[in-house]
Amino acid sequence: MKKLLTIIGMAVFSLGYSQGTIILNNYSKYDYHGFLVATNATAGCYPRVGNDGVIVVPAESHTGNNQALVYKDYQNQFTSSLYPTANWVVTQNPTGSSIMPWNDVNLAPGNTISTSTKWYATKFVMMEAGTLTAAPDDFRANINIISPCTPVANDYFATPSGNNSAEMFTIGAITYLQVY
When pLDDT is averaged across residues 155-174 and rounded to a whole number, the result is 96
Q: Which residues contact 2 (CB under 8 A, 6 or more apart)?
A: none
When pLDDT is averaged across residues 81-109 and rounded to a whole number, the result is 96
DSSP state of 150: B
Helices (H), the chain: 2-16, 77-80, 112-116
Name the residue range of residue 52's domain. 2-179
pLDDT at 174: 96
Is pLDDT above 90 for 13? no
Q: Which pTM value belongs to this model?
A: 0.88
Across all residues in the chain, what is the average pLDDT? 90
pLDDT at 18: 66
Is pLDDT above 90 for 150? no
pLDDT band for 54, please (50, 70, 90 cuts): very high
Q: What CA–CA distance (Å, rounded) separates 125 from 55? A: 11
DSSP state of 134: B
pLDDT at 82: 98
Contact 122, 177 (CB under 8 A): yes
pLDDT band for 69, please (50, 70, 90 cuts): very high
Is pLDDT above 90 for 41? no
Contact 92, 46 (CB under 8 A): yes
Q: How many domains does the chain have?
A: 1
Residues pairing with 123 in the sheet: 35, 142
